[in-house]
Amino acid sequence: MGIFKKNIMEDHVTRKTFNYNKGEVKLNFILRVDIKSELRIFRDLLVKALEDIEEEIIKP
């Protein structure tokens, strides 16, 4: 009988779920909070999305 080695894979990803609700509107997303550069990129995207939404709100 041979000796079997088992490969152990570890996952050290730290994710956080964000949930926001107001009335019928829901905003849910999951972000990796262990990589700060990804959080900054998400923030930049969110700022752009807010600008686009603001433009839609003020349209006649």
27: DSSP letter: E
- According to the model, what pLDDT value does residue 12 have? 84
Residue 56 within any structural domain of the chain: yes
* Res. 10 pLDDT band, cuts 50 70 90: confident
Question: In which region does residue 26 sit, left (phi positive, over 0), alpha (psi from -120 to 50) or beta (all else)?
Answer: beta
Residue 57 within any structural domain of the chain: yes
Residue 28 within any structural domain of the chain: no
Instruction: Provide the 3-class DSSP secondary structure of residue 20.
Output: strand
pTM of the full structure: 0.70
Residue range(s) defining the domain that contains residue 58: 35-60
**Partners of residue 20 on adjacent β-strands:** 27
Residue 58 within any structural domain of the chain: yes
Give the model confidence (pLDDT) of 12-38 as tens digits: 889 999 999 999 999 999 999 999 999
Number of domains making up the chain: 1
Residue 54 within any structural domain of the chain: yes
Range list of H helices, 1-60 = 36-58
Max intra-chain CA distance, the chain: 78
Residue 17 within any structural domain of the chain: no
Residue 30 within any structural domain of the chain: no
Residue 44 within any structural domain of the chain: yes
